[in-house]
Amino acid sequence: MSVKVSEVSLFRGFSQFRVSFKNRILCVKSLRKAVNQVSNSEREMWEINIDNAASRVCSIYGSEVAESVFRRYDAHGFHDLNPCYYAEVFGDLEMIANDN
């Protein structure tokens, strides 16, 4: 009979864990949604800043110079630029635009 009691207590513990696990999944999903929203707004900020810097470089030195910055990072523009290079591309474009 003690075996049955331990099985029941294990089952009860598992049920409590399951409920807790479900709540944690909901929290993780909510957190991921919030992170994605921040990531999307951050991506939009980078896009605006990089596009503005590229436009200034184009107006001063021509489009070939701005395109060369993207080519260094294996991209043709912001649309296929790896997010890990956003800061570097922006920095390069800013440096070129402000190098008067």
- Residue-wise pLDDT for 46-86, tens only, equals 999 999 999 999 999 999 999 999 999 999 999 999 898 99
As a whole number, mean pLDDT of residues 17-30 equals: 56
At 97, phi and psi to the nearest 5?
A: -65, -35
Q: pTM of the predicted model, to two decimals? A: 0.62
Residue span of the structural domain in which 59 resides: 2-97
Q: What's the structural domain count of the chain? A: 1
